[in-house]
Structure 1
Amino acid sequence: MIDRKRKLGKQIDELRIGDSFTAIKRVGDRDLLLYLGLTNDSNPLYIQHDYASQTPYEKPIVPSVMLFGMVSSLISMHLPGPGSHITQHEMAFPHPVFHETEVKFLLEVIAIDKEENRAALSVVGYNEKGDTVIQGKLYVTPAYRPKSLTASSLENFF
């Protein structure tokens, strides 16, 4: 991984309103168990079928913050990409996501503020039935270019 050259994400001047990225992610039991282990979250609604069956959801659901983590990953890796940082977000989760569900995420740049080096992105996610499972708006600081081209600590980028 250290030997491979990586490209930084888009800078503010490279972004355009309407730039978009789409990805499909499946929320598997393995992913869910890793998340729950890392966060020490033992909410029975997320893992216990007997409890969840007695709720309006009828079966275990995926934590909404895990869905947001997927959005964060898409921003960090694709739009604007590596070097970017989410500074503010507002999310809604209108329908639950169940284990082993495929979610289609759509990110789109909706505003650019070059003076503040900040872009606004909308996000919408749909389950396999077409229900909206996540929607919101994020503010992102795109990647900064390093000031020194000779900085050896950053030689894996460029």
Structure 2
Amino acid sequence: MFAKKRKLGKQINQLKVGDYYESSQTIEDKDLLLYLGLTNDSNPLYIQHDYASQTPYKRPLVPSVMLFGMVSAIVSMHLPGPGSHIVQHEMKFPRPVYHYTEVNFSIEVSSIDHENHHVYISIIGLNGDKEEVISGSLVVSPPYEPESITANTLNNF
């Protein structure tokens, strides 16, 4: 995985306002357990059915940060893609997401700042009932054009 050279995502001059990407992901037990193990998060609202049943939510929730992680993966892998870096984000989670929920993510380039090498992206996530469960915006630094390995070879001569 680390030794394989990956193709870079879209560079800033290849992006345009209106570019978008859509993806769906169902949150399974294995995903939740990997996230909770990685973060050492043992919030009973995320994993204990007996506790969650006594809250207004009635059943365990998917952590909000895990949903943001899914958005981050879309940016890193698809739009703009590999080589991108999120430099700022603002997220809202208007409805809870429960285990086994399918979330449909849509991201779209809303503006481009060539001078600062930033792309502004809007995010919407809908559950299976078409209710908004995540919305927000990102400022992303798309991949830079790598310098040629031989570009500076003869600089010392």
One fold, TM greater than 0.5? Answer: yes
Partner residue in 2 for 1:63: 63
Could you say which residue in structure 1 is the equivalent of 2:133? Answer: 133
In the alignment, which residue of structure 1 is the partner of 2:100? 100
Shift of 1:11: 0.6
* Local SS of the residue matching 1:30: helix
After superposing on structure 2, the runs of 4+ consecutive aligned residues of structure 1 that deviate more than 3 Å are: 1-5
Query: Following TM superposition, by how much is the alpha carbon of 1:4 offset from its aligned partner in structure 2, in angstroms?
Result: 4.9
Corresponding residue of 2:123 = 123
Q: What is the RMSD of the two structures over their aligned residues, measured on CA atoms?
A: 1.3
Question: Deviation at 1:7?
Answer: 1.2
- Supply the distance in 2 between the matched residues of 1:2 and 1:72 (Cα, whole angstroms): 19
Q: Which amino acid aligns with 1:24?
A: S
1:7-156 matches, cutoff 5 A: 7-150=7-150
Give distance in 1, aligned partners of 2:95 and 2:2. Answer: 40
**How many aligned residue pairs are there?**
151
Runs of at least 5 residues in structure 2 that lack an aligned partner in the other structure: 152-157
- Could you tell me which amino acid in structure 2 is paired with residue 43 of structure 1? N
CA deviations 1:100-135 (Å, max 9, x no partner) are 110000000001000000000000000001110000
Letter in 1 for 2:66: M
Q: Which runs of 5+ in 1 are unaligned?
A: 152-158
TM-aligned CA deviation for residue 145 of structure 1: 1.2
Report the residue type matching 2:29 in the other structure: D
Tell me, in whole angstroms, the C-alpha distance in 2 between the residues paired with 1:128 and 1:67: 15
Rounded Cα–Cα distance in structure 1 between residues aligned with 2:150 and 2:66: 38
**In structure 1, C-alpha distance between the alignment counterparts of 2:100 and 2:2, rounded to whole Å:** 33
Q: Distance in 2 between matches of 1:133 and 1:150?
A: 48
CA pair 2-67 structure 1, distance change in 2 beyond 3 A:
closer
Q: Secondary structure at the match of 1:108?
A: strand
Equivalent pairs: percent with the same residue? 63
* Rg (Cα) greater in structure: 2
Aligned mates of 1:76, 1:46 — CA distance in 2: 26
Structure 1 length-normalised TM: 0.92
User: Deviations along 1:84-115, whole A, 9 cap, x unmatched?
Assistant: 00000000000000001100000000010000
**Cα distance between partner residues in 2 of 1:86 and 1:3:** 24
- One-letter identity of the residue aligned with 1:130: K
Amino acid across the alignment from 1:83 = G
